[in-house]
Amino acid sequence: MNPFVKNTAFVDRVIELALTIQQIAAPTFAEQRRAAFVLEGFRAAGLADVQTDAIGNVYGRLPGSANARPVVLSAHLDTVFPLDVPLQARRNEQSIQAPGIGDNSLGLAALFGVIWARQDQPPRGDLWLVANVGEEGLGDLRGMKAVVDRFNALPQAYLILEGLAFGQVYHRALGSKRYRITAETKGGHSWVDFGAPSAIHELASLITRLVSLPLPHKPRTTLNVGVIAGGTSVNTIAAEARLELDLRSEGVETLSVLAANVEELVAAAARPEVKMSAEVIGLRPAGEIPADHPLVRMALHSLEAQGVSAHLSVGSTDANIPLSRGLPAVCIGLTTGGGAHTLHETIQFSMLERGLGQLLHLLDQVFASTP
């Protein structure tokens, strides 16, 4: 295990920083305060080329000792929680429970952990540390798209950090397509105009047909209506209603067929007195590198070096973007826990030493593999 990680003070420092970051609200599209905190932290740590880009990603470079190709190490800034959600944290000797602590305050804190561990023994090539926006929800991975647009194929690897899911190596990107479907009618009074089409009723009927679509188990494919909104009052025939729909599949072609079926159902639900429209609000491309790719093997070995049984996984993460472009990338977790995306989100301390050790070991391996 890495000697820095065996130092309890080092691990405690990462935990304390994660708690500080967790207390800074950062909903998707409103990550500015958290980004400013990271920016100042990068500057205080002495990184080179500290900067933000046009959409709010924060960059800093830990200079390498040789001319090896760079590595990009990233963690997303945003959370799923609105600004008005209380960010109260509960801590005991084994864990912390707090909204967003694992997804992804701990990932951001680990960026600084790498800085502290490697400033006196720099890597062979430049290590770009990136805190990016727009990973969650309707952020549509826009932050990582900008990161990959900037670096393209220059890095030898893109390493994506998540606070949870320790023991998993995500080398396959789960594709998803998201729609906002809107129904519009003339509306009216619930008594006087009874019988006139209601946008809410029309949308409810459409949902019934959507959830009746057959979905294969292999490749695993899912459909979820996550948001419904609309209407004016209890005694008004709704003139407008909308839903947000999430489609996911391990199969690229399967996802394409499912999306086509959804669009056909939306078109079929329209008639002269009912307008139906489907707007694509999110598209997370699929992609993968093979299980025997050198980067995947190094990620697995880094876990095994910590005495942990590793698992190859598919997921929807920032790694989707480099993987979809044929670039080497993996997403790894740092500790165990649960309750992601809930007010009871929790990280356990017991595996964090090994999670940080895995990360440092992987970075060392990647740079050592460069001719």
pLDDT at 66: 85
Query: pLDDT digits over 182-228, tens only?
Result: 999 999 999 999 999 999 999 999 999 999 999 999 999 999 999 99
pLDDT of residue 144 exceeding 70, the answer is: yes
pLDDT (average), residues 103-114: 98
Q: What is the rounded distance in angstroms from the CA atom of residue 11 to the CA atom of residue 365? A: 21
Query: pLDDT digits over 289-303, tens only?
Result: 999 999 999 999 999
Q: What is the rounded distance in angstroms from the CA atom of residue 250 to the CA atom of residue 218? A: 8
Which tokens go with 140?
Answer: 């549509």
| Strand ranges across the sheet with 346-348 | 90-91, 95-97, 346-348, 337-338
For the chain, list the domains and their CATH numbers. Answer: 3-174+286-368 (3.40.630.10), 175-284 (3.30.70.360)
- Which helix (H) or strand (E) segment is 70 a member of? strand 68-76
Which tokens go with 105?
Answer: 């305050």
Q: Measure CA of the first residue to CA of the last residue in the chain; give whole Å.
A: 25
Alpha helices by DSSP H, 177-251: 199-211
Q: What is the rounded distance in angstroms from the CA atom of residue 61 to the CA atom of residue 109? A: 16
Q: What is the rounded distance in angstroms from the CA atom of residue 50 to the CA atom of residue 8? A: 29
- Residue pointed to by tokens 């060392």: 364
Using alpha carbons, list the distances in angstroms from residue 318 to 52, 211, 310.
18, 28, 20
Inter-residue contact 58 to 39 (CB < 8 Å): yes
Q: What is the rounded distance in angstroms from the CA atom of residue 22 to the CA atom of residue 14? A: 12
